[in-house]
């Protein structure tokens, strides 16, 4: 028996919104430690890895590991039936071919349940090596979203250049060029407004705007985003979920043929 109850149900809705652009279907791996998911987008350019720790749920029971393969478009349809202040419970029997979502209003006067068919997905699990990144940038997630949106008007790819002074995002296209520079700024009133750079050596890497824009669908999940970069390895874009886990995106760099 698997059962996970989240009073802050809106969080689950936001997590789903953050991945459904990239993934049509995915397997939610449920274990005693929590729920995790790892999947590549259909073109195998990016990878989503997320983790929701069991202690972040208000009630969590997982007698034995279960893999819940879901069509995320269908899951999103069901999640749209939950209000933002609803309490959400996910339930599945061991070896079940369906999952049940229960939505309760805070006053418990309305309780809805939706049963969805599960899928048997042939998922390829990738081992992600531990990497010492040359540059780690922490910045407001809204700012990152804005920069990705703005520069995708200019070109198809963004060059992210990082030095210890700051980080520069650049795009070039038929109409011309655009550059956005952010200076390191840790001395701000609010922690979430800080731009902090940890640099071992400067990097300059090129990434596709389309994927970066998809990653920014996670913006409502966290006030800050962390970009980890090294030459010739995938970029990591991480949104930390307070007291709960993370949503991470890995994006393969553009490479010289």
CA distance 9 to 88: 5
**127 binds other proteins, rule: CB under 8 A:** yes
Which of the 8 DSSP states describes residue 186?
-
Tell me the window of 7-15, 62-70, 218-226, 247-255 that interacts with other proteins (CB under 8 A).
Answer: 247-255
- Considering only residues 18 to 77 of the shown chain, the ones binding other proteins according to CB under 8 A are 40, 43-47
CB of residue 103 vs other proteins: minimum separation in angstroms?
35
| Token pair listed for 240 | 């930390």
Q: Are 120 and 206 in contact (CB under 8 A)?
A: no
Helix (H, G, I), strand (E, B) or coil at 230: coil
Residues near 236 by beta carbon (within 8 Å), at least 6 away in sequence: 133, 226, 227, 228, 229, 248, 249, 250
**155 binds other proteins, rule: CB under 8 A:** no
Nearer to other proteins, 175 or 255 (CB): 255
| Token pair listed for 207 | 């990434």
Strand-pairing partners, residue 158, are 207
Strand-pairing partners, residue 173, are 176
Q: Determine which residue in the list 125, 130, 132, 183 makes contact with other proteins, applying CB under 8 A.
A: 125
CB of residue 7 vs other proteins: minimum separation in angstroms?
34
The radius of gyration computed from the CA coordinates of the chain, to the nearest angstrom, equals: 20
CB of residue 53 vs other proteins: minimum separation in angstroms?
20
Q: Determine which residue in the list 83, 163, 233, 240 makes contact with other proteins, applying CB under 8 A.
A: 233
CB of residue 72 vs other proteins: minimum separation in angstroms?
18
Nearer to other proteins, 105 or 213 (CB): 213
**92 binds other proteins, rule: CB under 8 A:** no
Strand-pairing partners, residue 3, are 61, 91
CB of residue 130 vs other proteins: minimum separation in angstroms?
12
| Token pair listed for 199 | 């640099």
Q: Are 235 and 207 in contact (CB under 8 A)?
A: yes
- Considering only residues 157 to 196 of the shown chain, the ones binding other proteins according to CB under 8 A are 157
Size of the site for other proteins (CB under 8 A): 25
Q: Which residue ranges make up the site for other proteins (CB under 8 A)?
A: 40, 43-47, 124-129, 157, 206, 208, 233-234, 250-257
């Amino acid at each position: 028996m698997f059962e996970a109850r989240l009073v802050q149900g809106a969080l689950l809705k936001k997590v789903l919104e953050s991945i459904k652009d990239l993934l049509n279907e995915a397997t939610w791996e449920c274990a005693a430690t929590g729920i995790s998911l790892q999947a590549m987008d259909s073109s195998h350019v990016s990878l989503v890895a997320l983790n929701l720790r069991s202690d972040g749920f208000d009630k969590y029971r997982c007698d034995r590991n279960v893999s819940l393969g879901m069509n995320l478009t269908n899951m999103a349809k069901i999640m749209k039936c939950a209000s933002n202040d609803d309490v959400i419970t996910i339930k599945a029997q061991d070896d079940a071919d369906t999952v049940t979502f229960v939505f309760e209003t805070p006053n418990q006067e309305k309780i809805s349940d939706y049963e969805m068919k599960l899928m048997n997905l042939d998922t390829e699990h990738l081992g992600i090596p531990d990497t010492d990144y040359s540059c780690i940038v922490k910045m407001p997630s809204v700012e990152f979203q804005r920069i990705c949106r703005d520069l995708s008007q200019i070109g198809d790819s963004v060059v992210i250049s990082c030095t210890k002074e700051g980080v520069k995002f650049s795009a070039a296209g038929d109409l011309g060029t655009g550059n956005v520079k952010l200076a390191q700024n840790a001395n701000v009133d609010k922690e979430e407004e800080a731009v902090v750079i940890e640099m071992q050596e400067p990097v300059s890497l090129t990434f596709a705007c389309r994927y970066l824009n998809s990653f920014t669908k996670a913006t409502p999940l966290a006030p800050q985003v962390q970009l980890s970069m090294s030459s010739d390895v995938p970029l990591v874009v991480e949104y930390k979920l307070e007291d709960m886990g993370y949503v991470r995106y890995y994006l393969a760099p553009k490479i010289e043929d």
